[in-house]
Structure 1
Amino acid sequence: MEKIDIKSMTPEELRAELPDLPKFRVKQIFSWLHRGVVSFDEMTDISKELRAMLAARYEIACAQIILKRVSKDGTIKYLFQMNDGELIESVLMKYAHGYSICISTQVGCKMNCSFCATGKSGFSRDLLPSEMLSQVQEAQRDENIRISNIVLMGMGEPLDNYDNVLKFLELVSHSDGMNIGMRHISLSTCGLVDRIYDLAEKKLQLTLSISLHAPNDEIRNRTMPVNRRWNVEQLLTACRHYSRETGRRISFEYAMISGINDNDQCARELALRLHGMTAHVNLIPINDVTDTGYKKSDIARQKRFISILERGGCTATVRRTLGSDIEASCGQLSRKHKGGNGYEG
């Protein structure tokens, strides 16, 4: 008999699943699962008989560390193995305000953006809510820390795994669970417009981050295939709707690629596109990587780009590069582990 994924259940679902148990006992089980136990035997305040019953019927999703790389700046890159053997990546970062983790939402990705390693490996499957939780829990256990911020920007497109991601958000923010508030969570998408409208209806107080990377369709069509389905104007219209509905500022990710999207005209066009929107532009110096031919913009070009954006009324910063010496960009480590080449994620 195939075992049931117990860690993906909400308290209400768990009570319905275990109707013969007292409510306080179900709450204990939920609490243990969200403290990151990997075995029912670790639930020490529950009887051996109940633990045996749970072990016979249910599975606890885990993220086993296969590789761990620690950067000179303290950033940690994890290669995790799921219960079924699939490999995913997470990155743990330390800031002045605490620890932040970038987690994966899928095994691989369907989007095939030209500068991203994950899409080069193809798509295997969606991650379950429990598997997203496990990445956070295992990093906390490994480093003996408390993670306060989560970024859904690892392997995969979060909005392509919409239902599981929403369930994860509900679980990770639950007061009886890890209790990480929505304002401490950022969700990054390459621009699935229909799901942005769906997410706006939920009025969650998370930060929506848009992987834009180009100010027009001509450039974005070449680098991001998703733009052929929803163009820049459709995407930005959805973003304006999202901002109005939620009252939240949107972050636009913009990977600076020398000679592709970093000239003055691109900066002016981007400023015009975002004019009047509650937004922030996060410029990302892309890695110099193999097989793409892409080169990162130099510091002078980055400063010039920001200057033009600011004159056009847009706030912008250059994202601090962390973990470059350990291939911290998504997809790089898993491809090398499998024998492939690394790309920027």
Structure 2
Amino acid sequence: MAVTLDLSDPKTRPSGPAGMAEKPVLVGLTRPQMQQALAEAGIPEKQARMRASQIWHWLYIRGVSDFSAMTNIGKELRATLAEKFSIARPEIVEEQISGDGTRKWLLRFPPRGAGRPVEVETVYIPEEGRGTLCISSQVGCTLTCSFCHTGTQKLVRNLTAEEILSQLLVARDRLGDFPDADTPQGAIVPLEGRKVSNIVMMGMGEPLYNFEHVKNALLIASDGDGLALSKRRITLSTSGVVPYIGRTGEEIGCMLAISLHAVRDELRDELVPINKKYPLDMLLDACRAYPGLSNAKRITFEYVMLKGVNDSLGDAKELIRLLKGIPAKINLIPFNPWPGSAYECSDWDTIERFADFINANGYASPIRTPRGRDILAACGQLKSESERLRKKEREKLESLALEAMMIAGHGE
């Protein structure tokens, strides 16, 4: 049975006009950026490097979100830091727990510049021997993939490195992956004992359309003196933004996943419209040239199984032909239905025959077990609640305006 927890706190909800002054945020800054921010705040340059190292430790090893917990920094400096900077977590509006243990958080971030507060969804999937966190990179999406629920929401904006990284920090908070900040001499959570052992950039948005912020967040997540996730446990999924695929391997060095879903350009143009700009031949050439590609570092190709659309034996044969020479794994994803979708999931026998053919031709082809369907947390189901909330706000305002008109009319 799914459980929904309303964790919103009225005290943390944004108030006042959008665009009001905000404190600079230290989470998500690179070490040089943090040193510069501290120096600009009046900390002597000779101390800035040491202070940045201390803050880095508290943020990413201890997981604190309040400067007062940084006990090896003097009280006066802690007060100065709290006055000038923020390290607060985003608001958790809602937590949903699926019957299979999957968790989904709806997170609300404060306004940036003249914008509005925004919301994204983040999903945690517990599995035997590991736990995977699915992180969003944008609010909404521009790609309009026809089978994807997120694609029905227009892009609002890119997430910052801080907002991307904060999804990981919130998950570790909620799952107990950080040591107790009240006992700074206590044991640090061991690398093998983590609830969150893997992260995948497969949430809302196209990560490579937000490359610089995604890059900074993932480099911090994999930094050995902080969150220390192995780059082999970080996977970035793209629908095929070809110019950034090589840069992903060179500058981030993580594992790569491709949302493929079709083996013919005419069908992929419909399912994944970015294919019109970067067709299959161009995409697969970029995959063959991916830095560090080997049998030990394979590319994952994601293939959603759509009944009567892309699930024939002929599609399976063409998939083998297309991927020839690319060290690869093919994840078959049973389609996860969502309200208003025009597609159906392939029959289970069809999916198994498709997988058996691919396996027989030398490619690992696991069938992904649907997780979190009862809370719309499965692959392709994420969608921010922002639109629904804005609709409710508009309806409330319209109701109040109508009531005022009726009162005014009655007064006449």
Question: TM above 0.5, one fold?
Answer: yes
- Alignment partner of 1:42 out of 37, 55, 69: 69
| CA–CA distance in structure 1, aligned partners of residues 33 and 136 of structure 2 | 25
Q: Alignment partner of 1:74: what SS?
A: coil
The answer (yes or no) to whether the contact 2:207–2:237 under 8 Å persists in 1 is: yes
From the CA coordinates, give the structure whose radius of gyration is larger.
2
Matched, 1:174 2:200: no
The answer (yes or no) to whether the contact 1:203–1:245 under 8 Å persists in 2 is: no
Q: Alignment partner of 1:59: what SS?
A: coil
The answer (yes or no) to whether the contact 2:303–2:333 under 8 Å persists in 1 is: yes
Partner of 1:75: 102
Q: Alignment partner of 1:283: what SS?
A: strand
| CA–CA distance in structure 1, aligned partners of residues 252 and 145 of structure 2 | 28
Matched, 1:240 2:265: no
Corresponding letter in the other structure for 1:274? L
- Alignment partner of 1:261 out of 297, 305, 310: 310
Matched, 1:270 2:270: no
Q: Which runs of 5+ in 2 are unaligned?
A: 1-20, 112-116, 178-193, 392-412
Partner of 2:140: 108
Matched, 1:24 2:50: yes
| CA–CA distance in structure 2, aligned partners of residues 149 and 4 of structure 1 | 29
Matched, 1:33 2:59: yes
- Alignment partner of 2:270 out of 222, 228, 233: 222
| CA–CA distance in structure 1, aligned partners of residues 298 and 246 of structure 2 | 15
Partner of 2:209: 160
Q: 1:43 to 1:70 in 2, by over 3 A?
A: same
Corresponding letter in the other structure for 1:24? M
Corresponding letter in the other structure for 2:143? M
Matched, 1:304 2:353: yes
- Alignment partner of 2:173 out of 100, 122, 141: 141
Deviation at 1:270, TM superposition (A): 0.8
Structure with the largest fraction of strand: 1
Matched, 1:7 2:27: yes
The answer (yes or no) to whether the contact 2:58–2:70 under 8 Å persists in 1 is: yes
Query: Taking every aligned residue pair, what percent have the same amino acid on both sides?
Result: 38
Partner of 1:93: 125
The answer (yes or no) to whether the contact 1:201–1:245 under 8 Å persists in 2 is: no
Q: Alignment partner of 1:169: what SS?
A: helix
| CA offset digits 1:54-80 (Å, max 9, x no partner) | 223223252321111111111111111
The answer (yes or no) to whether the contact 2:336–2:370 under 8 Å persists in 1 is: no
- Alignment partner of 1:190 out of 235, 239, 245: 239
- Alignment partner of 2:85 out of 58, 79, 97: 58
The answer (yes or no) to whether the contact 2:66–2:88 under 8 Å persists in 1 is: no
Q: 1:307 to 1:158 in 2, by over 3 A?
A: same
| CA–CA distance in structure 1, aligned partners of residues 151 and 330 of structure 2 | 24
- Alignment partner of 2:249 out of 200, 205, 216: 200
| CA offset digits 1:25-72 (Å, max 9, x no partner) | 321111222243333233233223212222232232523211111111
Matched, 1:129 2:196: no
Corresponding letter in the other structure for 1:132? I
Q: Which runs of 5+ in 1 are unaligned?
A: 341-345
Deviation at 1:335, TM superposition (A): 6.5
| CA–CA distance in structure 2, aligned partners of residues 71 and 51 of structure 1 | 40
Partner of 1:343: none
Indicate the larger mover: 226-235 or 176-185. Answer: 176-185
The answer (yes or no) to whether the contact 1:243–1:250 under 8 Å persists in 2 is: no
| CA–CA distance in structure 2, aligned partners of residues 133 and 222 of structure 1 | 33
Deviation at 1:214, TM superposition (A): 0.4
Q: Alignment partner of 1:93: what SS?
A: strand
Corresponding letter in the other structure for 2:275? N
| CA–CA distance in structure 2, aligned partners of residues 335 and 264 of structure 1 | 41
Q: 1:176 to 1:194 in 2, by over 3 A?
A: same
Q: Alignment partner of 2:385: what SS?
A: helix
Matched, 1:331 2:382: yes
The answer (yes or no) to whether the contact 1:327–1:333 under 8 Å persists in 2 is: no
Q: 1:283 to 1:94 in 2, by over 3 A?
A: same
Residues paired across the two proteins, number: 339
